[in-house]
C-alpha cells in the first residue's frame, strides 16, 4: 500500500483481509455484493456448483445462507432459499412448479388476500388459471383435483383470519395421485406447530416477516423444499426473478428464529387462556380458536399439528356485528396495538374486513364468514392478564352507543 497514491488507497486500504482465526459465534452481516477469489478457475467452479463458495450475492450470500440452512433444518427440508418478502417466496415456489399457459392452480378459498391477487393478476396474465376450493372438504377437493388436473395445489396450514386447519396429509395424497405439487404456506403455524414437508408437502413457504422474525423489524420470505431435484427450478426463480433477501434482513431473521420456540410457547399459552376468557364476555358472540374445534376440524388439527398447542391467534366476532362496533373496540385499546401484521412479540389486533380482506368484495367476504364484527387478535408475549384487561375494557366500550346514552341519562337522572 505504501507506494500507492492516496486516490488508490482510499479505495483499497484496509479491505480484503483473510477470514479471522476463530469462528464468529454469531454469523456476521456479509454486506458484500461480490466475493473475490485467488484464481479465476475457482470462480468458474463455484458458479458451476462443483465447489461451494460465494461469487455474487444474488447467487448466494453467507448471511443469507445461514438463515436458509436454519430454515431447512427447522422444516426438515433438503434445502431452502430466502427471498425479499413472503410474496416473492410464493411467486418463486409457483414458478418452480413448471406453470405455463393453460395450466391450472387449485387454491384454497381461504388463502391470504395478496396470494389470490398474485395468482389472478401476475400468473393469470400468462394464461395460468386459478380455481378455488374448500380445502377442508377433502371429498370435494379430490373430485375437483381429478377433474381439473391442476399442476399445483396451494393452501395454508392455518388460515387467516378464521384459523381453519388444513389436513396437509390428505391434500398431499390427492396432489401426488394426479402428479401435482403441494405448496403449503406455513406462516401462521410455523415449524413450532406443524412441519408440512413431513406430512407430504413439496414446498413450504413462509412470510418470515411474521413469526420467524417476530420483532416487526424485518421483511423477508423463504421456500423450503422436500426434494433435492427441485433445486435448479427454485434457484432459477430466485436468481432470475431476483427477489433475494438482503444480508441485513437475513441477520435480523436469523436472530429472530433463535427465540421462535420461546415466543411461540408463551404466545400459544397466552392465546389459549385468552380464548377461554373471552368466551365469557357477553359482548362477544363467537370465539374462534383451534382448540375449540370439534368433529372433522378437530381430526385435521390432530393430524396437522404435531403437539398439543393450538397457535397464537384468536379471532372473535362481536355480538354487535358491525363496522362501527369494531372501530369503537379497536379505538378503545390502550395496550394492544392496531398493527396490520401478525406474529410480532407484542399483541396486534386488526379488523380483517377493512385490512387483510379489504380487496375482497363484501359479498365474497360474507360468504367466507368475514363479517364486519370480526376481529383478529395476534397474541403477544406480554402478561396475559394485561392483554385481557385491555380487551375487556375495550369490548365494554363497543356496546351499542344507544345503551351507553340510556345509561348516561339514567346516571344523571
Ligand X SMILES: *Cc1c(COP(=O)(O)O)cnc(C)c1O
Residues annotated as catalytic (active site), given as ranges: 58, 112, 185, 210
185 touches ligand X by CB under 6 A: yes
Q: Which residue of the chain is nearest ligand X when measured via CB?
A: 86
| Distance of closest approach, residue 261 Cβ to ligand X, in angstroms | 20
Contacts of 285 (CB under 8 A, 6+ apart): 317, 318, 319, 321, 373
- From the list 80-88, 124-132, 143-151, 170-178, the region that binds ligand X by CB under 6 A is 80-88
Of 213 and 399, nearer to ligand X (C-beta) is 213
Q: Which residues 157-176 are close enough to bind ligand X by CB under 6 A?
A: 160
376 vs 384: CA distance, rounded Å? 16
Count how many Cα atoms sit within 13 Å of the Cα of residue 17 in the half-sphere of its side chain.
5
Q: Which residues 110-129 are close enough to bind ligand X by CB under 6 A?
A: 112, 114-115
> Position of cell 369503537?
328
Q: What's the full length of the chain, in residues?
A: 413
Closest by CA to 212, choosing from 185, 230, 235, is 185
Task: Report the alpha-carbon angle 339-341-344, nearest 5.
Answer: 90
Counting residues that bind ligand X (by CB under 6 A) gives 16
243 touches ligand X by CB under 6 A: no
* DSSP secondary structure of 349-370: EE-GGGTTTTTS-HHHHHHHT-
* Grid coordinates of 98: 413448471
Name the CA dihedral angle for 223, 224, 225, 231, rounded to a multiple of 10 degrees.
60
57 touches ligand X by CB under 6 A: no
| Distance of closest approach, residue 144 Cβ to ligand X, in angstroms | 22
| Distance of closest approach, residue 161 Cβ to ligand X, in angstroms | 10
Element (H, E) at 81: strand 79-83
How many helices (H) and strands (E) in the chain?
16, 11
Of positions 61, 63, 85, 130, contacts ligand X by CB under 6 A: 85
160 vs 145: CA distance, rounded Å? 23
246 touches ligand X by CB under 6 A: no
- From the list 83-91, 92-100, 126-134, 402-410, the region that binds ligand X by CB under 6 A is 83-91
Of 67 and 112, nearer to ligand X (C-beta) is 112
371 touches ligand X by CB under 6 A: no
Of 54 and 211, nearer to ligand X (C-beta) is 211
Of 115 and 283, nearer to ligand X (C-beta) is 115
196 touches ligand X by CB under 6 A: no
156 touches ligand X by CB under 6 A: yes
| Distance of closest approach, residue 267 Cβ to ligand X, in angstroms | 15
* Grid coordinates of 5: 497514491
Contacts of 264 (CB under 8 A, 6+ apart): 190, 192, 193, 211, 309, 312
Of 114 and 259, nearer to ligand X (C-beta) is 114
87 touches ligand X by CB under 6 A: yes
Task: Report the alpha-carbon angle 102-238-154, nearest 5.
Answer: 45
Name the CA dihedral angle for 42, 44, 48, 50, rounded to a multiple of 10 degrees.
-20
Q: Which residues 204-223 are close enough to bind ligand X by CB under 6 A?
A: 207, 209-210, 219, 221
378 touches ligand X by CB under 6 A: no
Which residue ranges make up the site for ligand X (CB under 6 A)?
A: 85-87, 112, 114-115, 156, 160, 185, 187-188, 207, 209-210, 219, 221
Amino acid at each position: 500500500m505504501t507506494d500507492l497514491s492516496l486516490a488508490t488507497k482510499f479505495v483499497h486500504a484496509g479491505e480484503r483481509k483473510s477470514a479471522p482465526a476463530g469462528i464468529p459465534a454469531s454469523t456476521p452481516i456479509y454486506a458484500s455484493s461480490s466475493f473475490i477469489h485467488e484464481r479465476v478457475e475457482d470462480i468458474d467452479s463455484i458458479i458451476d456448483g462443483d465447489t461451494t463458495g460465494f461469487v455474487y450475492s444474488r447467487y448466494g450470500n453467507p448471511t443469507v445462507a445461514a438463515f436458509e440452512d436454519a430454515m431447512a433444518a427447522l422444516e426438515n427440508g433438503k434445502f431452502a432459499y430466502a427471498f425479499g418478502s413472503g410474496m416473492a417466496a410464493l411467486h418463486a415456489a409457483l414458478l418452480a412448479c413448471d406453470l405455463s399457459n393453460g395450466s391450472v392452480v387449485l387454491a384454497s378459498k381461504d388463502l391470504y388476500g395478496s396470494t389470490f391477487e398474485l395468482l389472478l393478476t401476475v400468473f393469470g396474465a400468462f394464461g395460468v388459471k386459478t380455481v378455488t376450493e374448500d380445502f377442508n372438504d377433502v371429498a370435494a377437493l379430490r373430485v375437483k383435483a381429478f377433474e381439473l388436473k391442476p399442476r399445483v395445489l396451494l393452501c395454508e396450514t392455518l388460515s387467516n383470519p378464521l384459523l381453519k386447519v388444513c389436513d396437509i396429509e390428505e391434500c398431499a395424497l390427492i396432489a401426488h395421485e394426479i402428479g401435482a405439487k403441494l405448496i403449503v404456506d406455513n406462516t401462521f403455524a410455523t415449524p413450532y406447530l406443524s412441519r408440512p414437508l413431513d406430512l407430504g408437502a413439496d414446498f413450504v413457504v413462509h412470510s418470515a416477516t411474521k413469526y420467524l422474525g417476530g420483532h416487526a423489524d424485518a421483511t423477508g420470505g423463504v421456500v423450503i423444499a422436500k426434494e433435492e431435484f427441485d433445486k435448479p427450478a427454485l434457484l432459477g426463480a430466485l436468481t432470475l426473478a431476483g427477489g433475494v433477501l438482503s444480508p441485513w434482513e437475513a441477520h435480523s431473521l436469523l436472530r429472530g428464529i433463535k427465540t421462535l420456540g420461546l415466543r411461540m410457547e408463551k404466545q400459544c399459552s397466552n392465546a389459549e387462556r385468552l380464548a377461554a376468557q373471552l368466551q365469557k364476555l357477553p359482548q362477544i358472540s363467537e370465539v374462534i380458536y383451534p382448540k375449540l374445534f370439534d368433529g372433522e376440524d378437530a381430526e385435521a388439527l390432530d393430524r396437522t399439528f404435531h403437539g398439543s398447542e393450538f397457535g397464537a391467534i384468536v379471532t372473535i366476532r362481536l355480538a354487535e356485528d358491525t363496522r362501527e362496533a369494531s372501530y369503537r373496540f379497536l379505538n378503545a385499546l390502550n395496550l394492544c396495538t392496531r398493527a396490520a401484521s401478525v406474529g410480532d412479540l407484542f399483541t396486534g389486533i386488526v379488523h380483517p374486513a377493512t385490512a387483510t380482506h379489504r380487496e375482497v368484495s363484501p359479498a365474497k367476504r360474507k360468504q367466507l364468514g368475514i363479517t364486519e364484527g370480526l376481529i383478529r387478535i395476534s397474541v403477544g408475549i406480554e402478561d396475559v392478564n394485561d392483554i385481557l384487561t385491555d380487551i375487556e375494557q375495550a369490548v365494554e366500550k363497543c356496546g351499542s352507543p344507544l345503551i351507553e346514552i340510556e345509561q348516561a341519562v339514567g346516571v344523571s337522572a
